[in-house]
A and B are shown apart, each in its own frame.
Chain A
Amino acid sequence: MSVEQSQVAGIDVGGTFTDLVLFDAENRTVRLAKTPTTLDNQAGGVLNALDAAEADIAALDLIVHGTTTTTNAVLERNLCRTGMITTEGFRDILELGRRTRPQAYGMKGEFKPIIPRDLRLEVPERMNAFGEEITPLDETALAAAIKTLIDDDCEALVIHFLHSYANPAHELRAAEIARDLWPNGNITIGHALLSESREFERGVTAAVNASVQPLLRRYVERLADTLAERGFKHDILVMNGNGGMVSARHVSVEAAKTVMSGPASGVMAAAYTGRRANIKNLITYDMGGTSTDVALIRNAEPAVSSEIEVEYAMPIHVPMVDVRTVGAGGGSIAKVTAAGLLQVGPESAGATPGPICYGRGGELPTISDANMLLGRLNPARLNSVPGGPSLEDIAKVFEEKLGKPLGLDATQAAAAVIRIANARMADAVRMVSVSLGEDPRDFALFAFGGAGPLHSTAIARELGIPKVLTPSRPGITNALGCVVADLRHDFVNTVNRPLHMLDIDTVHALFAEQITEGHRLIAKEKIKLSATQEIYSVDMQFIGQTHLLRVPLPGPKPTIEDLQSRFEKAYFDRFQVELPEIRANLVNVNTSVIGRRPEIDLSLLIDAAERKPTLADAKTGSRRVWFDGWHETPIYWRDHLPADATIDGPAIVEQMDTTIIIEPGDRAEQDHDGNIIIVLGGAK
């Protein structure tokens, strides 16, 4: 039994790199690989990563895969040709949206609907809001519309009728007819992914699903075939945006759920790492070259939202880990505004030309360049770029573009860029936590991504966050998320009844159904589990409100009084407002059923044999680093740190995929898994 699923590979395809983590539980080893992502067919990069890690594919028990196939397709609008059939009078719902504009100020802006107008056809049919039939489904018109879309070379079909959440009969019948006519299985019906009112959101969710479904299906089939040829004997599992995984055979049915899966797996890894480190409330801070992702983890569970908008007017309303993209990345450009104020971002140098220090032709000062000038990034890296810029070249740009107008020298200008960037990012992180009803001071910061650990302690200080945790392999966090991911199914049922008119037995019955269905789905996947777990909650509001507040429940059999008191408490905690005058309303009943996988020993991520006996042995040198003045600062190599290393700032820890700054006055310690935990002001 114990050898079952002993070799587990997590493979995450990112924008630039494909990362792999391979755990071999039996031999207690870990192998890592980072290979360039192959954009045209991500499977190439996946195989390269497996080969780079010298993996014996035939011996692998489990491959968990995070793919950006659907993410890229949506963001770049490289979608399959998809047709929509909808209620007569309503074909423009996808194009009209909810009547907004892309930004509060500025009357410009464009919006391109996911399905073009000529591929959105109408048929006579209508339900009312109670789910009663007003106009029967015109099956002849429907068949004709289906044929038109087939003749128009559509590869996928959406059937989206008004009020199908209240009565799906017409959608179901239409799907039945479509299945006989449509040349493939790519049919999405509106209420299947999201059985809630709001025709625009439901329609877009269904349209996204349909228009990425064939792509995802083709991709996972090709990958499965290629891996099978190399001897892999099992199903691949694919990551979903809710942080759980599903087998490749089923994943394309609900393809929309994979759209935000990349950032979600990073957050899952953070939650897992935090749980093992006994730091269960975390704010994740994943800072890369162009942007920064922030998410909140309470009691080792990532916050999940069903109301995520992927971009302007592109809502995908399925439960997903609530990852917010905020402010700046390493490539954010600093400039002096017409008002003579230093501003960092929102413009970014991106990956090309990138910061000046990349040596790819970037000429504008960025956050990364400021880090380089201040000695926080290793200047030796500049030498690795043939014909690239020198430190002096970068200093000259800072002096010209920022220093002169502000009356500062290059170093002061760089320090100012870092200070402002940190303040801005701290504000953004704070807004994320406040909007989720939390005070950041109750959390630790989990820093990853190439640039996260460079800025995390400064941001934590701004926010009053006491601790920063940097995992042992911050550059492969998403791949690690694949390895530690659980099976997960989320259920939402709408009740929408005031508490004083609620039949509590219905609520208990709904919970019971959700539990049964979750366990049934989990049993379908042939995966070894250590345990299953249910998470219960209800969404509530005061009568008359439109916003919902999620109220966690300890079990599936709450009493009415229980619901009332838990809601009141949650409301007060959140808003500091008591409203005894107004009655409460129960809107949704939610259960997540989670199949936990066997524990993975994260301490294996750094090879014990690499560790040196003393801190002095782990030191690679020292250099001048700016912390409100220049400090000669020791530099350590992460993999060489002794297991019980304690480092007081100022110090810098370098590793293959990131640089960790320990500021003066702070203390860094390693825990049993090799995480570095920086306690602000903890130096003796």
Chain B
Amino acid sequence: MTIDPITLTVIQSGLQQVCDEMDLTFSRAAFSPVIAEANDRSDGIYSAVDGSLISQGATGLPVFVGTMQYSTRTLIEMIRDGKARAPKPGDIYIVNDPYLGGTHLMDVRFAMPVYRRGEIFCWLSNTGHWPDTGGAVPGGFSASATAVEQEGLRLPPVKLFKEGKLDDEIYAIICSNIRVADQRIGDVKAQAAALLVGEQRLNRILDRYGDHVVKEAISELRTRAAEQMRANIKLIPNGTYTSVAYVDSDGVVNEPLEIRLKITATDDELEFDFTGSSKPCMGPMNSVLATTLSSVYLAMRHIFPDVPISAGAFEPLKVIRPEGTFLDAQYPRPVSGCAAEVSQRIAEAVFSALVEALPDRVTAAPAGSSGNFALGGHDPLRERGYVMYQISGGGYGGNADHDGLANGCSTIGISKAPPVEIMEQQFPVLYRRYALREGSGGAGLHRGGFGLDYEVELLRGEATASFVMDHGRFGPPGALGGRDGKPNSVEIRKGGQTIVPEHLSKAQDIPLRAGDRVRVGTPGGGGYGDPYKRDPALVAEDVRLGRYTQDEARSYFGVALGQDNWPDDDETNRLRLAASKG
């Protein structure tokens, strides 16, 4: 029997709807702002046989594209090998072990089997970023951790819900090992509720079309998603495309980590080869395999957003396992930086490699950092401890259509930054500025977007500041002749002195007192195309709006401006001609 294409489309959107409703339920019921506001979560449907991805919610955090299929596959294998308990209807497993198909410890996965007539039809799984899972520092992002044990509590797959009932003994162990545990029950219930809603909706589809038809549709959709991705890949001429991307340092050893990528396009397949990338590192900038794969997938989806997310779409993307590099970390390497930072460097490597082959689709490099600044301390006024996170955007890369977006969110996220007013309500800080970072966009025919420039002052008590950012050493690369965006900058002003962290974008526990200030400039996006070909009127407009100075207009773009910032055509021509000869 073959399914008609119309039923196929209807089942496809039905499965998508199941995942979207799980996403919605999870976010609306969740407690952590990270999940409820920032949507740092994802939900999907996975094959009963090998855990491969059937469908995933459209609003899931991009970095989770593809990760859960590895954790589900590992779970299925562990059950088969007797390393995890056999499932029963109503069971929900919890797991956050990064090496078992995960990201970092804070991304906690739930997985639930869906039974039809006594057999497992498929798995539903979701990931939610918990605000804390224990470990050396609140929130889990320790820039100086050297082993995973310092990063938090690690859970192998165990049944948190047994036949529908929460196992309060396991839950008690978890609560005894994490900070602000009393609110976690809200997230746990929300995460489980999302799976139950998914099961309900999925059963309705199965009842309506029949298990057999849906099963057939799933396999057909997988084939077709692969075909769609293959059709896209054919746009890339056969050949090899290379790039190098740099992580500033691992936070412990102050040396850059290299991601060396060689992409080989052969007809309708792409091979990703990371051979020659840096060895596993001491600090937390290691990536586990699932995250590395997922980063490749999400980069390709940024390039071809129309291919539905399913295992089929990933089939033509062959990633050679980067064994022996920091992109395939093994126990007990620390990994807290993989989801937020290394993943974005991997995506950047993919963009940089393919921008020449796909100049209309791929942009110059975006800021590509989550810009994590954590301030932990004690507020004497409120008589309580706190941990504040300032996550920031940066400039996006210029592209064939237009200049890059200013202050865009991380490549792997889609979340909103908290307002200054909310931060000041909750924490003893005062922002002195929160502004466009002038001059930061990489020059180009279409320039990069601008980063963010903020300065924050500690008002009361003492605190420690930690930074997990990147692109401090080298700015996001320009493309096709465009210049790099400005690198990330961090300055700490205390006691009349200005301190720049040794690792530039990473530092751990810098002590601050009331009156001390932290100033951060996030990276500008890379420029796209020759800046000397940019319309002088657009350069003049940017200067008039205070985004660049007249000097920058001259040196970056070869545009001379007279009084009132009108372009001086003769001088501009002279500058540009001299450059082209020179």
A343 touching B21 by the CB < 8 A rule?
no
Residue of A nearest to B365 (CB): A107
Selecting from B10-18, B46-54, B551-559, the interface stretch reads B10-18
B79 in the interface (beta carbon within 8 A): no
Residues of A within 8 A of B442 (CB): none
Residues of B within 8 A of A39 (CB): none
A163 in the interface (beta carbon within 8 A): yes
B396 touching A107 by the CB < 8 A rule?
yes
Residues of B within 8 A of A343 (CB): 9
How far apart sit A401 and B183, CA to CA, in the bound complex (Å)?
55
B6 touching A431 by the CB < 8 A rule?
no
Selecting from B89-97, B156-164, B327-335, B413-421, the interface stretch reads B413-421
B210 in the interface (beta carbon within 8 A): no
A571-591 interface mask toward B, CB cutoff 8 Å, 1 = contact, 0 = none? 000111101011000000000
B231 in the interface (beta carbon within 8 A): yes
Chain A 537-594 interface residues, beta-carbon cutoff 8 Å to B: 542-547, 574-577, 579, 581-582
Chain A 400-432 interface residues, beta-carbon cutoff 8 Å to B: 406, 416, 419-420, 423-424, 427, 430-431
A97 in the interface (beta carbon within 8 A): yes
Selecting from A88-96, A485-493, A636-644, A676-684, the interface stretch reads A88-96
B403 in the interface (beta carbon within 8 A): yes
How far apart sit A197 and B421, CA to CA, in the bound complex (Å)?
6
Among A116, A200, A577, contact of B29 (Cβ-Cβ < 8 Å): A577
The interface centre, meaning the residue of B30, B298, B305, B407 with most chain A CB atoms within 10 A of its CB, is: B407
B407 touching A108 by the CB < 8 A rule?
no
Among A93, A108, A342, A416, contact of B402 (Cβ-Cβ < 8 Å): A108
Residues of A within 8 A of B430 (CB): 126, 128, 134
A228 in the interface (beta carbon within 8 A): no
Residues of A within 8 A of B432 (CB): 89
How far apart sit A105 and B363, CA to CA, in the bound complex (Å)?
13
B409 in the interface (beta carbon within 8 A): yes
B186 touching A582 by the CB < 8 A rule?
yes
B321 in the interface (beta carbon within 8 A): no
How far apart sit A502 and B414, CA to CA, in the bound complex (Å)?
36
Residues of A within 8 A of B396 (CB): 101, 107-109
How far apart sit A532 and B6, CA to CA, in the bound complex (Å)?
52
Residue of B nearest to A583 (CB): B182
Among A197, A419, A579, contact of B189 (Cβ-Cβ < 8 Å): A579
CB distance from A394 to the nearest CB of B (A): 19
Residues of B within 8 A of A576 (CB): 193, 196
Residues of B within 8 A of A434 (CB): 21, 24
A416 touching B193 by the CB < 8 A rule?
no
A199 touching B419 by the CB < 8 A rule?
yes
How far apart sit A61 and B405, CA to CA, in the bound complex (Å)?
52
Given A99-B392, A99-B393, is A420 in contact with B10 using a C-beta cutoff of 8 Å? Answer: yes
CB distance from A398 to the nearest CB of B (A): 14
CB distance from A148 to the nearest CB of B (A): 14
B549 in the interface (beta carbon within 8 A): no
A180 in the interface (beta carbon within 8 A): no
Chain A 52-103 interface residues, beta-carbon cutoff 8 Å to B: 89-93, 95-101, 103
A136 in the interface (beta carbon within 8 A): no
How far apart sit A111 and B450, CA to CA, in the bound complex (Å)?
12
CB distance from A67 to the nearest CB of B (A): 32
Residue of B nearest to A549 (CB): B28
CB distance from A401 to the nearest CB of B (A): 14
B25 in the interface (beta carbon within 8 A): yes
Residues of A within 8 A of B544 (CB): 118
A496-514 interface mask toward B, CB cutoff 8 Å, 1 = contact, 0 = none? 0000000000000000000
Given A197-B422, A198-B422, A337-B228, is A100 in contact with B414 using a C-beta cutoff of 8 Å? Answer: yes
B33 touching A546 by the CB < 8 A rule?
yes
Residues of A within 8 A of B424 (CB): 128-129, 163
Among B16, B31, B228, B547, contact of A545 (Cβ-Cβ < 8 Å): B31
B369 in the interface (beta carbon within 8 A): no
B411 in the interface (beta carbon within 8 A): yes
Chain B 375-399 interface residues, beta-carbon cutoff 8 Å to A: 391-393, 396-397, 399
B250 in the interface (beta carbon within 8 A): no
A104 in the interface (beta carbon within 8 A): yes
A575 touching B29 by the CB < 8 A rule?
yes
Residue of A nearest to B433 (CB): A89
A542 touching B435 by the CB < 8 A rule?
no
B62 touching A104 by the CB < 8 A rule?
yes
Residues of A within 8 A of B397 (CB): 107
A90 touching B408 by the CB < 8 A rule?
no
B6 touching A101 by the CB < 8 A rule?
no
A197 touching B402 by the CB < 8 A rule?
no
CB distance from A234 to the nearest CB of B (A): 43
A546 touching B5 by the CB < 8 A rule?
no
Residues of B within 8 A of A117 (CB): 436, 545-547
Residues of B within 8 A of A101 (CB): 396, 405, 408-409, 414
Residues of A within 8 A of B547 (CB): 117
Residues of B within 8 A of A104 (CB): 58-59, 62, 414
Residues of A within 8 A of B16 (CB): 427
B206 in the interface (beta carbon within 8 A): no
CB distance from B440 to the nearest CB of A (A): 12
Residue of B nearest to A571 (CB): B29
Residue of A nearest to B39 (CB): A104
CB distance from A434 to the nearest CB of B (A): 6
Residues of A within 8 A of B241 (CB): none
B421 touching A199 by the CB < 8 A rule?
yes
A355-379 interface mask toward B, CB cutoff 8 Å, 1 = contact, 0 = none? 0000000000000000000000000
Chain B 268-304 interface residues, beta-carbon cutoff 8 Å to A: 298, 301-302
How far apart sit A259 and B11, CA to CA, in the bound complex (Å)?
38
CB distance from B467 to the nearest CB of A (A): 17
B452 in the interface (beta carbon within 8 A): yes
A340 touching B5 by the CB < 8 A rule?
yes
B545 touching A575 by the CB < 8 A rule?
no
A118 touching B227 by the CB < 8 A rule?
no
B300-330 interface mask toward A, CB cutoff 8 Å, 1 = contact, 0 = none? 0110011000000000000000000000000
Chain B 431-458 interface residues, beta-carbon cutoff 8 Å to A: 431-436, 452, 455
Residue of A nearest to B234 (CB): A338
A341 in the interface (beta carbon within 8 A): yes
How far apart sit A582 and B10, CA to CA, in the bound complex (Å)?
41
Among B6, B36, B435, contact of A419 (Cβ-Cβ < 8 Å): B6
Residue of B nearest to A113 (CB): B406
How far apart sit A423 and B298, CA to CA, in the bound complex (Å)?
28
B366 in the interface (beta carbon within 8 A): yes
A106 in the interface (beta carbon within 8 A): yes
How far apart sit A369 and B58, CA to CA, in the bound complex (Å)?
30
Residue of B nearest to A544 (CB): B183
B203 in the interface (beta carbon within 8 A): no
A547 touching B28 by the CB < 8 A rule?
yes
Residues of B within 8 A of A337 (CB): 228, 306
Chain A 116-170 interface residues, beta-carbon cutoff 8 Å to B: 116-118, 126, 128-129, 134, 162-163, 165
Given contacts A107-B366, A126-B430, A339-B225, 15 further A-B contacts (CB under 8 A): A89-B433, A92-B435, A92-B436, A97-B407, A99-B416, A101-B408, A108-B396, A128-B430, A129-B425, A197-B421, A420-B6, A431-B17, A545-B31, A574-B29, A579-B186
A-B contact pairs, 27 of them (CB 8 A): A89-B435, A90-B435, A96-B434, A98-B416, A99-B391, A99-B407, A100-B409, A105-B302, A107-B302, A107-B397, A110-B405, A117-B547, A118-B544, A163-B424, A197-B422, A199-B421, A200-B419, A338-B228, A339-B228, A340-B5, A341-B8, A341-B224, A431-B17, A545-B186, A546-B36, A574-B28, A575-B25
Task: Give the top 9 A-B pairs by smallest Cβ distance, nearest first.
Answer: A89-B433, A99-B393, A339-B224, A339-B228, A99-B417, A105-B305, A338-B231, A544-B183, A98-B416
Q: Give me the interface of B with A, judged by CB distance under 8 Å.
A: 5-6, 8-10, 12-14, 16-17, 20-21, 24-25, 27-33, 36-37, 58-59, 62, 182-183, 185-186, 189-190, 193, 196, 224-225, 227-228, 231-232, 298, 301-302, 305-306, 351, 363, 366, 391-393, 396-397, 399, 401-403, 405-409, 411, 414-417, 419-422, 424-425, 430-436, 452, 455, 544-547
